[in-house]
Amino acid sequence: MAYPKRIDPDQAVREIREAAERRSNRIVDLSRISEYKMLFVRCARAVCPGFIIREELKPAYNDILHWAVMDYDGNLDPDKGLLLWGDIGTGKSTMLRIIREFCSIIRPRTDGNRYYFRIDNVIDVCAAYADESIDGGYRGIRRYIDSPRQAFDELGSETVPTGRYGNFENVMQYIFQSRYDNRHHQFTHATTNLTVEQIRDVYDERIYDRFKEIFNFVALRGKTFRKNTQKNIKR
């Protein structure tokens, strides 16, 4: 089994200090929060033209907005990623894309580049590991480990463990452990239909504890946004 490369301890200390400096030099101007909210809705409707704000989801959307504008007095920690969890069809995957669009506008540029993160379905991630060519295995998932900002969609829908040449690995658990080791200079986001208890069962208590350090847990619960198309199917 290959083990993730660990970062230099001195580098980790520097990055912790930089995070502390970010907390003391906030970029958010709360006097403009109404403008930010309108921009958030515009981004949402650009990503999903039929986007609506449901009453039961307003508190979660508000917390996400304050996280996105790096409000350290909000309910979510801007130095952690987001784990959007809840019922099927409540817009978690869509919200990831909305967050990416909004943050690309509102967050400061780094080296001239807009804020951006990859979004990959965990089934595709595990398929990259299962690939029996030379590009598969741990080499196949390296990009998901090294990406500075990475989102994993539909966590829990993958096959656990994933096999390759008779060897089996809990691929997402391995990736999360690797990203946890590099958490001070990486951002990780995810969506899942799993409950908190199910997350513990699938990825064990140790990884769940890691989740609490790298994620803000945001519940998106309620009725599905997806239309029931069964009535349109001719029998």
Map out the domains of the chain with their CATH numbers.
30-222 (3.40.50.300)
Pairing, β 167-169 against β 162-164: antiparallel
Torsion angle (degrees, nearest 10) of CA 213, 219, 220, 222: 160
Long-range contacts formed by 157-166: CB under 8 A, 24+ apart: 157/121, 157/122, 157/123, 157/193, 158/122, 158/123, 158/125, 158/126, 159/126, 160/202, 162/126, 162/129, 162/130, 163/130, 164/129, 164/130, 164/131, 164/132, 164/136, 164/137, 165/132
Q: What is the pLDDT of residue 135?
A: 92
Q: What is the pLDDT of residue 27?
A: 58
Q: What is the DSSP letter of 85?
A: E
Q: What is the pLDDT of residue 66?
A: 94
Q: What is the pLDDT of residue 29?
A: 76
Q: What is the pLDDT of residue 5?
A: 53
Q: What is the pLDDT of residue 233?
A: 38
Regions of the chain short of the pLDDT cut 50: 1-3, 25, 229-235
DSSP string computed for 156-185: T-S-SSEEETTEEE-HHHHHHHHHHHTGGG
Q: How many helices, marked H, and strands, marked E, lie in the chain?
A: 9, 7
Q: What is the pLDDT of residue 224?
A: 76
Alpha-carbon gap, residue 23 to 33, rounded angstroms: 18
